[in-house]
Structure 1
Amino acid sequence: MVPNPFNLLPLIYTLEVKENPIEVNITLQYPITKIPLNQFLKNLIRAQKEREEKFYPTQVYLKILKHPYFLALEFEGGISFQKIIKEIEDELRKIGYLKITLDEVEDLVPKYRDYLEKIHKIFFRNWENIKTPFELSENLKNILNFFEPLFEKLKDEDSWHSILLRNYIHVLETKIFPIFEEETYLKDKSFSGSFLLEILEYLLKEEKIPFIGDPLKGLQIMGFLETRLLSFKKVIILDVNEGFLPPAPSFNPFLTDEIKIYLGIPIFRNELWVYYFERLIKSAEEVHLFYIFVEKSKTQEFREPSRFIQKLKWELEKEEKKPNEKLIPLYFEILPEKEGIPKTKEIKQSLLDLIKTTEISRYFLETYLRCGMKFYFRYLLKLKEETKIGLRSFDIGNFIHEFFENIFKELEGKEVLMENVYKEDEVLEKLENLWLSYKFERKMDALSHFLSKKIAVETIRKYFNYLIDKERAGKIKSTKILGVERSLKLLTECNLFDPSYEEFKNFKVLFSGRTDFLIKRKEGITKYLILDFKSNPDIKPYSGKEKIDKMFSFSLPDKFDNLALYEVADIFGSDLSGFQPRFYYYLFYQQKEKFITENDKEFVVINAGFITPSDFKNPEKFVFNLSKRGEWAKIYDYFKNRFKNLLEWILNHIIISDKFYLPADDNVCKYCEYKAPCKNYRHLLE
């Protein structure tokens, strides 16, 4: 007996792999909700329910077209639909719209328009304006006809998928189609499309697939209702858990308890199930009850034995009998978590070649400091995250960068006052035009779009007013724009380990960065500022006296293991927010003669930091907040003579260390795009 019908297929597969397979007869009816074709039809209904006029939710649209039945199709000329959907998905992910029209999809891949028009008609357009039950039935039949060549192939296979498909189509033809075609209360009447879809969705949830077999042979797999009036020598009941036996009551929106009372229909709760259970076990010579007990788990919900078992124990105790109980433990081996992915000599050589031929950016170095395995997936295997549909994490940041570039790029090389630059109407008009070009209204829901735009406008206004107020107070005398989106590159010699010769050699390495805003600002003294725009108002460049002292006193580790890597990463802060401004500071300082016009005797301040316009109180945050010239001299000496050693150590760790190490803090993994392959390496693969 299988009270939970969803366990039917796992049970059958288990019986099939036994050394001595036994003959099985199934009378248990299987719910159609898990059948692939049923899930496909439910997604079609969902697409219509979530459609707004002609706009379909992109994710649901893709889910329909990426169904295995579609991917198995081939059109005339040997064109694979898998190829078509790949191109469609690439285009949809590129534009990132949350909702899309069918015409827009056809315009994205015009060479496949003929195929798409046919598919869109059968699976989408025909469903948009259904008014009669007969139309709905015809639409379902059109879908079956479309997939008929594929279904004919599947029906010939001797597999459970084929058996379930044949029986599912039989249910559609004998139980669902007649409701929409023959029932007098529906026939030839007009209804709203949403009402008809609600009925179809309910039927697709409630119907079950029957199996046909020989009840006199082999092992009988049954549900409780099939055991009525039968007696057995040996009964095995699975899933004797609360919630399955007795089952949790289902809610019927068409026939609620109140309606049943009004109509005089009896309401049965557990009485029938008590009767079925007691009658079954008392009519059998031998009974085996199985249940799962889960007391506490992060991955499973609490499971307890059925109340029927508790009652049975109590009744046996009254008769001074005791059930024969046996605990069946689950044996599984937990593989030890690995420290990281091992590096072979060939991999180490590839890493050296990569460093010699690649522009070493702050992302390159930060990725390695944050997680060696992520570095492996991104820079060695070249794996890329699937582009997200909707607003991506970097979209707002890119918008802010481009906006300020549009404002200040034409002012490069000029000395300005922000009061003269900021003409509010002109600036807000540029913001509006740029906002429209990013199509944010198609990438966010209406409320998020409204709030985001309001915040963007207020953020820009507040930041410019902050600068203007400082100018009016005499704290900023003038600003010279040295660069917007300015590239900073430094080709320098580094002493790196060569795995081929197993010794250190000098190699040319190109360090590269791109600073958002490079300015010369006259305050009490002249300052050269290397600034990067950040959309997160809470980000800080890991500044403060303690952090600076830690940077000066830090000695590079002798080893190249995981602990040494964590130690080096820690000097830039737990989130590595201090690395970028220091890295850009180094690139600027090593070629400062290109930018600084003052002579060596004239004191100037060089600083780096973040501009966070959405932080209205303090939008500019700097790495170094010093007041004495002697303190600045120590900073300049550090970036002139010592910071390169730190970069060399990181590059050598990439080459020398035995593994691509996991991060010290698992929170880094929370939103990582490589979570799936990483999990396999960490726990599963030998």
Structure 2
Amino acid sequence: MEPFLYLIARKYYQEYNGDLSEIAFIFPNRRAGIFFQKYLAEVAGKPIFSPDIFTINDFFQKLSPYRPADRISMLFILYKEYGKLGHSDESFDDFVFWGDMLLNDFDDVDKYVADARQLFRNIKELKEIDESFDYLTKNQIDAIKQFWSNFNPINESKKKIEFLSIWEILFSLYSNFKERLKEKKLAYEGMIFRDVAEKAMAGNLPDTGYKKIVFIGLNVLSRSEEIVMKKLKDRGIADFYWDDASPYVKDKHNKASYFLSKNRILFPSELEIDITGETGHRQHIETIGIPSAVGQAKQAGEIIENLIRENKIPDVKKAINTAIVLPDEHLLLPVLYSVPGEIDPLNVTMGYTLSNTPVAGLIESIFDLQKHLKMQKGNAAFYHRNVLSLLSHRYIMLSGEKDIFALSNDIRRYNKVFIDAKELEINDLLKKIFVPIYDIRQAAEYLLDILEYMQMNTDPDEKSEASDYTSLSPLEKEFLYHYYITINRLKEVITEYDIPMNVPTFFRLVTKMTGNISIPFRGEPLSGLQIMGVLETRALDFENLIVLSVNEGIFPIRKTANTFIPYNLRKGFGLSTTEHQDSIYAYYFYRMIYRAKNIFLLYDTRTEGTETGEMSRYLYQLKYHYRLPIKEKLITYNISVNDAAPLVVTKTGPIMEKLQRFLEGGDKALSASAINIYINCPLQFYLKSVERIQPDDDVSENIEASTFGSIYHKVMEYIYQRLQGQLVTADILEKIQKDEKSLTRFIETAFAECYYQKKEPSALTGQNFLAGEIIRKYVKKTLTADRKLTPFRYIESERLIEMEHDFGGTKKVRLKAFIDRIDEKDGTVRIIDYKSGIRPGSGANREITFKSIDELFDPEIKNRPKAVMQVFMYAMMYSRLQPGYRIEPGIYYLRSLFENKFNWLIYYKPERISEAVHDFAPFDKEFVSSFNKCLNRIFDQEIPFTQTPHTEICEYCEFASICKR
């Protein structure tokens, strides 16, 4: 296979006897020029003076007196000129988006040498088109007429009127903007191209100093390029070579031929060169569908290994005959990690966009942090989600992993929704990060300070025990450096032009700038496996070609340019349109594959979001239009989910040892809730109570049901603890109900203890305030219910009872109970359990009614009255500690407090008639018997821990992901 550039290098070397010093060669990109020099060296076989090599952009800059301006500076200059035209009331923050769009449009207008005055005219009478646009073709005039006839802002929408008001000033804005740039000897790319083209049209094109200028491998030409190339051709010093040997590129039905047929007529070649090279070689074309982006990278690595085994890459040290092409630059790093180790060196010709680097993720987290900044009592406080996200970043972890973990756990443990900046300043780096930002100059210094610190402090400090640094790689330091110089440049421009903007706009500008900056990878350009983007393939040929992401929307790219100039006007004035883009990418593809022998085209088969998983139109064209023999392969991953096998935990020796800790002499005790969990699901009991597995803590911004209940319990305890041992009357409770100040203090104190987990209470705000008010209503309703029972003697709340219980002759289990409230009336002791959750069941009151004691322990019953089991267990334990008392168990369902006939009693209903349980004693013996049977099942080594048969229980289980229910 003789590459296109090799054929031209050989012909020119032969034609000029090796003396090419007065010839300039112009290429579409730098890479093509480097390969051309390589081929010249191969043809010469000896040292020669290299001719001058330019890209088309470099060549135009050489002929122009202007220096390229950076985009941010141009945005500021454009905004100032826009303000001078009577739009000074629009802020820079609102201007940025469409100002950037105008820069693209002005660039197009100049590259295609369009008449800006005519383009930006407000044409109200269509006859003006006929009088003023005689230099345009009929098709162009028809396109312009169609736009202005359809676009009639009179009595039309506000948007059309706004468009027209801006359109009327565009020519003045365009002209004034260019004048300001010229004063500074600056220009955008299109302005440079137009300057050179206009000089060429005026006959003032500077002498290039070359006897011959050779344009090689170009495709679509702008109007300015056509003008300059024609002028050089008329001087007799220009020569042109078009890589259109591929029959696909010549096919008039293929969009790839859109420009080249015209170019060959306008700019023919002087020398006869058979650019077809070696024809007739058999191509191996393989399409591979893979449901993964990273999977494509891994597959590319496997293809390379196969090519090595088949000797299609004869020298792994010089695999220059092979290229991996990445239409999606995000796959660069996965590909680099997937290339076989024996391939060395690698030559990455594409840059890696700064916005894809880890430091970009860090800066984005910092932006989010500042966006949600809140002032509390004059102090800066940061939102917990942004804080935790930032703390989990690897670069932050390098500043002291141990301390960072401790800080993160502290935020979760104490449920800190907004964290004071002072609490976060645990090391020097975090002291720099957790600082409130109020203006853009402060923002620039803030980011520069952080990046400089990270760049200078990435080596381990051997003297500091707290330091847990791991050195950053040279590549990561390069990322930091490029981010630093980008933000520093933005700071300089902001200072120079002194344009007011808010901090979010500054952050958006940083993101915009870094999105346009690519970090070049250094490598040996003329040896090794080539990894490149689509644009870098222009004019280059490879024997082995692996192209990833050959998906519709990626290759060809689905990207609509943001423009202020409507399609019809673009078409009418000869500017670039979507047809240009379609043609360009079709040419790239068909030219690229023409001389390759082994072609592997990989595409992603996944359908996610807006991605359809559809392979590119080019693959369909190869298969159905050109009917090429293509080997098709579809790689799938077996991700089918079989029914999860039942989980059974056998009580082995180690597990029995853990269970022994609940028995006499152990250090653990069983609670009523733990026993209820066992009855519902033995496996959940094992995970939660035996293995003590706890779900990851997270900050809860809203009061969860369990926390809500704890706060209510605590408020009731505060209210009644002052009355311990006293006779409680209706008057006392009514007075408490009306004491809003004390209730507020109790609620805030309960929040501090149960939710914020701190000693000092504080005023509630937001949703917590609303939750507090709901608790206030529940508390008042509880006191209203209690008033109906007065007078009674309050004994205590939140009573902890621990005892050993004999359940198998020689076996004793340790039990514990937290009784919500104990009071006494007329010699009867009430054991009350508060239930803050929604009462299941309907009017049947299933949770306060039971048919038999066995029902309380039967796991097969769907709506088992587990609350009755719990309060009966409390009654049993209390009766052992305080024998001789009549014990009356009861349940306060908070949701029932608002019913007209609130009832806290438990009812025994063996058949149709139910009776209230005023005394636990008649049920004691039977309860203990069933209770002991349950305990025996827990500690019986032959009975494993199994899953519940009732899957509805699994819906809110913490361990559902383990069980796969």
Partner Cα separation in structure 1 for residue 552 and residue 876 of structure 2: 65
Question: Are the equivalent residues in 2 in contact too, given 1:360–1:510 (CA < 8 A)?
Answer: yes
Cα distance in 2 between the residues matched to 1:127 and 1:58: 17
- 1:465 deviates by 3.6
| 2:415 corresponds to 1:96 | yes
Give CA deviations for 1:190-227 in whole Å, capped at 9, x if unaligned: 64333322322344455443322234333322222222
Identify the range of structure 1 (446-455 vs 396-405) with the bigger mean alpha-carbon deviation.
446-455
Distance in 2 of aligned mates of 1:370 and 1:87: 36
Report the counterpart of residue 27 of structure 1 in structure 2: 349
Q: Which runs of 5+ in 1 are unaligned?
A: 74-80, 107-114, 153-158, 496-504, 557-567, 597-604
Match status 1:178 vs 2:489:
yes
CA distance in 2, matches of 1:260, 1:443: 59
Instruction: Flag the 1:467–1:133 CA change in 2: closer, same or farther, 3 A.
Output: closer
Q: 1:652 to 1:212 in 2, by over 3 A?
A: same
Query: What residue identity is the alignment partner of 1:409?
Result: Q
2:624 aligned residue: 317
- The code of the aligned residue for 2:779 comes to I
* Aligned twin of 2:778: 459
Query: What is the aligned partner in structure 2 of residue 493 from structure 1?
Result: 806
Is the CA contact 2:391–2:408 (under 8 Å) kept in the aligned structure 1? no
1:45-98 Cα distance to aligned partner (Å, 9 max, x none): 21111101311113423443443334334xxxxxxx334334434443443221
Cα distance in 1 between the residues matched to 2:447 and 2:681: 55
1:217-236 correspondence runs (5 A):
217-236=527-546
Q: Residue 404 of structure 1: CA displacement?
A: 0.8
Q: Confirm whether residue 52 of structure 1 aligns to residue 374 of structure 2.
A: yes
Deviations 1:165-205 (A, max 9, x none): 14413432554432333x47856666433332232234445
* Change beyond 3 A, Cα 1:452–1:139: same
Q: Is the 8 A contact 1:127 1:139 kept in 2?
A: no
For the residues of structure 1 that align with 2:871 and 2:514, how far apart are their CA atoms?
58
Kept in 2: contact 1:537–1:615 (CA 8 A): no
Q: What are the equivalent positions in structure 2 for 1:37-76 lying under 5 Å apart?
A: 37-53=359-375, 54-73=380-399
Question: What value does the CA root-mean-square deviation take over the aligned residues?
Answer: 4.4
Taking structure 1 as reference, are residues 634 and 127 closer, same or farther at Cα in structure 2, changes over 3 Å only? closer
Given that 1:362 and 1:580 are in contact with CA atoms closer than 8 Å, whether structure 2 keeps it comes out as yes
CA distance in 1, matches of 2:915, 2:765: 54
The aligned amino acid for 2:714 is: E
What residue identity is the alignment partner of 2:564? E
**Which residue is equivalent to 1:512?**
816
Q: Which residue of 2 aligns with 1:8?
A: 332
CA contact under 8 A between 2:889 and 2:920: conserved in structure 1? no
C-alpha distance 550-238 of structure 1, shift in aligned 2 (>3 A): farther
> In 1, distance between residues paired with 2:543 and 2:872?
79
Q: Deviations over 1:438-474 (max 9, x none)?
A: 2579999954134223322333333434555xx3xxx
Secondary structure at the aligned position of 2:527 is classed as: coil
Residue identity (%): 18
Deviation at 1:513, TM superposition (A): 0.9
Asked whether 1:409 is paired with 2:699, we answer no
Offset, 1:348: 1.3
- Deviation per residue, 1:16-73 (Å, 9 max, x gap): 47xx556533234334445333222222221111101311113423443443334334
Moved more, 376-385 or 354-363: 376-385
Stretch moving more, 234-243 or 256-265: 256-265
Matched, 1:624 2:907: yes
Task: Give 1:625-640 correspondences, 5 Å limit.
Answer: 637-640=922-925
Contact 2:444–2:487, Cα closer than 8 Å, also in 1: no
- Please name the residue that 2:851 is paired with: 549
Name the CA distance, whole Å, in 2 between partners of 1:248 and 1:186.
38
1:593 is the counterpart of 2:883: yes
Q: Which amino acid is 1:179 matched to?
A: L
Tell me the distance in 1 between the aligned counterparts of 2:424 and 2:657.
46
Note closer, same or farther for the CA distance 1:8–1:355 as it changes in structure 2 (3 Å cut): farther
Alpha-carbon distance in 1 for matches of 2:327, 2:763: 44
Structure-2 change in CA distance of 1:373 and 1:16 (3 Å) = farther
Please say if residues 613 and 619 of structure 1, whose CA atoms lie closer than 8 Å, have aligned partners that are also in contact.
Answer: no
Aligned to 1:111: none
Structure of higher CA gyration radius? 2
Does structure 1 conserve the Cα–Cα contact (< 8 Å) formed by 2:424 and 2:430?
no
SS in 1 for 2:931: helix
Cα deviation for residue 395 of structure 1 reads 2.9
Match of 1:481 among 791, 794, 805: 794
In structure 1, what residue type is equivalent to 2:794? Answer: I
The one of 555, 578, 581 equivalent to 2:871 is 581
Counterpart in the other structure of 1:661: 946
**What is the DSSP-based 3-state SS (H/G/I as helix, E as strand, rest coil) of the residue aligned with 1:485?**
strand
Q: How far apart, CA to CA, are the structure 1 residues paired with 2:620 and 2:411?
A: 60
1:629 to 1:456, Cα distance in 2 relative to 1, 3 A: closer
TM-score w.r.t. length of structure 2: 0.55
The equivalent residue for 1:354 is 662
Q: Secondary structure at the match of 1:491?
A: strand
Question: 1:69·1:147 contact (CA, 8 Å) conserved in 2?
Answer: no
Q: Is the 8 A contact 1:93 1:387 kept in 2?
A: yes
SS at structure 1 position matched to 2:807: strand
| Amino acid paired to 2:934 | W
Partners of 1:652 and 1:127 lie apart in 2 by: 62
Displacement of 1:579: 4.2
Cross-structure match for 1:433:
745
Whether the aligned pair in 1 keeps the contact of 2:353 and 2:519 (CA below 8 Å) is yes
- How far does the alpha carbon of each residue in 1:609-650 deviate from its partner, in whole angstroms, 9 at most, with x for none? 233157522665554265969885998544323444334434
SS of 1:433's partner is: helix
Q: Secondary structure at the match of 1:287?
A: strand
**Does 2:893 match 1:611?**
yes
Asked whether the equivalents of residues 519 and 529 of structure 1 are also in contact (C-alpha less than 8 Å), the reply is yes
Counterpart contact for 1:543–1:578, Cα < 8 Å: no
Query: 2:647: which partner in 1?
Result: 339
CA drift of 1:401 comes to: 0.8
Kindly indicate whether the alpha-carbon contact (under 8 Å) linking 1:241 and 1:292 is maintained by their aligned counterparts in 2: yes
Q: Write the distance in 1 (CA, Å) between the matches of 2:855 and 2:433.
A: 67
Pair 624,34 (structure 1): closer, same or farther in 2 beyond 3 Å: farther
> Take 1:405 and 1:519, find their aligned partners in 2: how far apart are those partners?
12
- Which residue of structure 1 aligns with residue 319 of structure 2? none
Does structure 2 retain, via aligned residues, the 8 Å contact 1:372–1:660?
A: yes
Q: Distance in 2 between matches of 1:151 and 1:277?
A: 52
Q: Please tell me the residue identity of whatever aligns with 2:420.
A: T
Question: What CA distance in whole angstroms lies between the structure 1 residues aligned with 2:775 and 2:577?
Answer: 58
The amino acid that maps onto 1:4 is: D
Q: Helix, strand or coil for the counterpart of 2:663? A: helix
- Quote the residue 1:85 is aligned against: 404
Q: Distance in 1 between matches of 2:951 and 2:898?
A: 32
Amino acid paired to 2:528: G
Structure 1 CA distance for aligned equivalents of residues 385 and 627 of structure 2: 61
Measured at CA, do residues 530 and 161 of structure 1 come closer, stay the same or move farther in structure 2, by a change above 3 Å?
Answer: same
Q: Over residues 118-175 of structure 1, what are the superposed CA-to-partner deviations in whole Å (9 max), with x where a residue is unaligned?
A: 44542232745542676356335433345343699xxxxxx99835414413432554
Q: Are 2:675 and 1:365 equivalent residues in the alignment?
A: yes
Q: Deviations over 1:260-281 (max 9, x none)?
A: 8899975648624444334434
Query: Quick one: which amino acid aligns to residue 532 of structure 1?
Result: D
Task: Give the corresponding residue for 1:396.
Answer: 708
**Paired residue for 2:435?**
125
Deviation of 1:398 (Å): 1.9
> Which SS does the other structure have where 1:389 is aligned?
coil
Segment drifting more, 90-99 vs 142-151: 142-151
CA displacement, residues 320-379 of structure 1 (integer Å, 9 cap, x when unaligned): 555322223335797964614443223213312433322221233234445555444444
In structure 2, C-alpha distance between the alignment counterparts of 1:581 and 1:363, rounded to whole Å: 10
Query: Take 1:648 and 1:231, find their aligned partners in 2: how far apart are those partners?
Result: 81
User: What SS does structure 2 have at the residue aligned with 1:324?
Assistant: strand
